[in-house]
């Protein structure tokens, strides 16, 4: 029987009861490890994290906590080969796709380590300038940010077992808040191993970092008023979380990153044959295939001027036909597997739903898979669908197929001399996603990019605007950088993560100190600016 991974809670490694849930190789079906959270003393785990981990972290300065993040990054860097092996076995990802998760997590840690060092040897942050409350300026107010005296619970998704942990844990630990992570069961192995390596290295104070593998039953029942919860997953599950007494009655904070029908827009000036057109095609294909399309930021809808729909279709099909899919252990394979057969069935059902109002331009079902048994492996080749009238279509704006699937749509270019309005139809179509994490715009005209980006900003957490001048330096539509905001309004969950210093806000409490001017002068001396 496969080995049972232990949970790390209350400063101890503890095995859950029962046989647990089996984790398998999504390519070969091989049994890997088991996980279980049954029988754990969750109350003791949360109490230990708050009292021991929280107190120890808050006793350190921001600079000291930043130094701990740097040490964690070193430990993870030293064990990268093991992490890649686990990702290959448990997630079925190619080496390049594993790097997005593993190296992306390490990079985010390193970024917050460097940023945190600039906050200095203080225990609180000041937010904004001191403001006088009296005519003689003797009585003033100064807003400050102090770490919340609770625990940060992360309920994470299956697609990023490394980055999903560290992009949340880095700002939490830097803020002085202990972390309990509950990774998605299907890919929990990598998260558990990373936590184990950090624990073994003895870097963090007792209680600062815990991991619970298996089911999430009972976790929210432990949440108190000053705890925070960050959830990544489906909008359906998020709705259930929001209704929990922890948030409704106790007022605990909840950050949600949920479903997102992200868009890419080809601007009216980017005709076939221009560099912006080629960049658009390249990016759509990349976002369809990186991590087999299993990214919350992947392009799901691509909008092009109707007169360029045929050319864009042909260009995308030509590139997708070159993607080899199958066992990532084969060096010729460029795209690996979905996370498991359950997800495979879900993606197949999603494609069938989209096909009811869209035609298939590239049918991945006809692609021969490399070195896999199609009856066992969770491998599926890319599918490109095309909609001629995106106004009439509804499913493409409502159904997110979490795999290598995108829909190409034509939009009508407005007949106007005001170039800022030419893409109005595409912008309206993008907004039908009801709030998304990211939209990309491709144009040869950088002023046009600015106008479109500002129009999209109200319904998107991030706008990725690309011209030929940044062809080599742009970071990618779906690549979440720690300096930029990750999150989105509406359907995308309404949450906010990362964004440099903004990530710390979720883990701090803001208060106004109304006091004599001399007192607030002392406050200034004891704090660091939240915007260094």
pLDDT of residue 530: 74
Neighbours of 346 (CB within 10 A): 15
Report pLDDT digits (tens) over 217-265.
999 999 999 999 999 999 899 999 999 999 999 999 999 999 899 999 9
- The reported pLDDT for the residue numbered 437 is 97
The answer to whether residues 83 and 76 touch, using CB atoms and an 8 Å cutoff, is yes
- The model's pLDDT over 50-92, given as tens digits with 9 standing for 90+, comes to 999 999 999 999 999 999 999 999 999 999 999 999 999 999 9
Q: Which residues are catalytic?
A: 257, 296
How far is the C-alpha of 97 from the C-alpha of 459, rounded, in Å? 29
What are the mean pLDDT values of the chain's consecutive 10-residue runs (532 residues total)?
93 93 96 96 97 98 98 98 98 96 98 97 96 96 97 96 98 98 97 98 98 94 97 92 95 94 97 98 98 97 98 98 97 96 96 96 96 96 95 94 97 78 94 97 96 97 98 96 96 96 97 97 91 63
What pLDDT score was predicted for residue 529? 83
Q: What is the pTM of this model?
A: 0.95
Q: What's the confidence (pLDDT) of residue 420? A: 60
For residues 324 and 326, what is the distance between their CA atoms, to the nearest angstrom?
Answer: 7
DSSP string, 33-91: EEE--TT--HHHHHHHIIIIIIHHHHTS-HHHHHHHHHHHHHHHHHTHHHHHHHHHHHH
Which pair of tokens denotes residue 515?
């006091």
Tokens of 112: 């917050």
For the record, the structure tokens of 387 come out as: 């909609």
pLDDT for 532:
55
Whose CA is closest to 38, among 241, 221, 220, 217? 217
What would the two tokens of residue 11 be? 């400063």
CB atoms closer than 10 angstroms to residue 53: 26
pLDDT at residue 418 in the model: 62
Write down all domains in the chain, each with its CATH number in brackets: 41-258+519-529 (3.40.605.10), 262-492 (3.40.309.10)
Measured between alpha carbons, how far is 486 from 219 in angstroms, rounded to an integer?
25
CA atoms of 147 and 135, how far apart (whole Å): 33
Q: Taking the CA atoms of the chain, what radius of gyration do you get in angstroms?
A: 24
Concatenating the DSSP letter of every residue in 90-140 gives HH---HHHHHHHHHHHHHHHHHHHHHHHTT-S-S-EE-S--EE-STTS-EE
User: Residue 196 has what pLDDT?
Assistant: 98
**pLDDT confidence of residue 1:** 74
Closest CA to 477 of 493, 461, 500: 461
pLDDT of residue 259: 86
């Amino acid at each position: 029987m496969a080995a049972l991974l232990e949970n790390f809670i209350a400063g101890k490694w503890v095995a859950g009861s029962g046989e647990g849930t089996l984790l398998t190789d999504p390519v070969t079906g091989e049994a890997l490890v088991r996980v279980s959270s049954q029988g754990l003393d969750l109350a003791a785990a949360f109490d230990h994290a708050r009292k021991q981990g929280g107190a120890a972290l808050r006793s350190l300065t921001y600079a000291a906590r930043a130094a701990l993040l740097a040490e964690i990054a070193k430990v993870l860097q030293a064990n990268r080969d093991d992490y890649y092996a686990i990702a290959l076995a448990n997630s079925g990802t190619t080496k390049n796709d594993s790097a997005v998760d593993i190296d992306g997590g390490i990079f985010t840690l390193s970024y917050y380590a460097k940023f945190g060092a600039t906050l200095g040897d203080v225990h609180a942050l000041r937010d904004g300038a001191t403001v006088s409350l009296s005519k003689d300026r003797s009585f003033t107010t100064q807003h400050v940010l102090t770490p919340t005296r609770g625990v940060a619970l992360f309920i994470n998704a299956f697609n990023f077992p490394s980055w999903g942990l560290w992009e949340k844990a880095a700002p939490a630990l830097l803020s002085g808040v202990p972390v309990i992570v509950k990774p998605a069961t299907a890919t929990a192995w990598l998260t558990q191993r990373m936590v184990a390596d950090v624990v073994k290295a003895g870097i963090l104070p007792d209680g600062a970092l815990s991991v619970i593998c298996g089911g999430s039953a009972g976790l929210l029942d432990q949440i108190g008023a000053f705890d925070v919860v960050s959830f990544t997953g489906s909008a359906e599950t998020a709705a259930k979380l929001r209704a929990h007494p922890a948030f409704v009655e106790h007022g605990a904070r909840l950050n949600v990153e949920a479903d997102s029908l992200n868009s890419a827009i080809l601007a009216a000036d980017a005709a076939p044959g221009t560099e912006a057109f080629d960049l658009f095609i390249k990016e759509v294909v990349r976002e369809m295939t990186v991590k087999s399309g299993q990214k919350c930021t992947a392009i799901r809808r691509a909008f092009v001027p109707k007169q360029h729909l045929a050319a864009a279709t042909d260009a995308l099909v030509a590139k997708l036909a070159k993607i080899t899919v199958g066992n990532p252990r084969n060096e010729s394979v460029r795209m690996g597997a979905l996370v498991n057969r359950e997800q495979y069935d879900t993606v197949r059902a999603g494609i069938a739903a989209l096909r009811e109002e869209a035609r298939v331009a590239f049918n991945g079902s006809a692609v021969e898979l490399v070195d896999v048994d199609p009856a066992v492996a969770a491998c599926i080749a890319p599918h490109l669908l095309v909609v001629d009238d995106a106004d009439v279509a509804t499913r493409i704006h409502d159904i997110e197929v979490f795999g290598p699937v995108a829909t190409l749509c034509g939009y009508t270019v407005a007949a106007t001399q005001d170039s800022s309005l030419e893409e109005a139809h595409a912008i309206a179509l993008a907004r039908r996603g009801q709030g998304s994490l990211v939209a990309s715009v491709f144009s040869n005209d950088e002023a046009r990019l600015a106008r479109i980006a500002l129009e999209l900003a109200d319904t998107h957490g991030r706008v990725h605007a690309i011209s030929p001048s940044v062809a080599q330096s742009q970071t990618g539509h779906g690549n979440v950088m720690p300096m930029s905001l990750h999150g989105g309004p509406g359907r995308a969950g309404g949450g906010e993560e990362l964004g440099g210093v903004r990530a710390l806000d979720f883990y701090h409490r803001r208060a106004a100190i109304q006091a004599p001017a001399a007192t607030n002068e002392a406050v200034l001396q004891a704090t660091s600016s939240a915007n260094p």
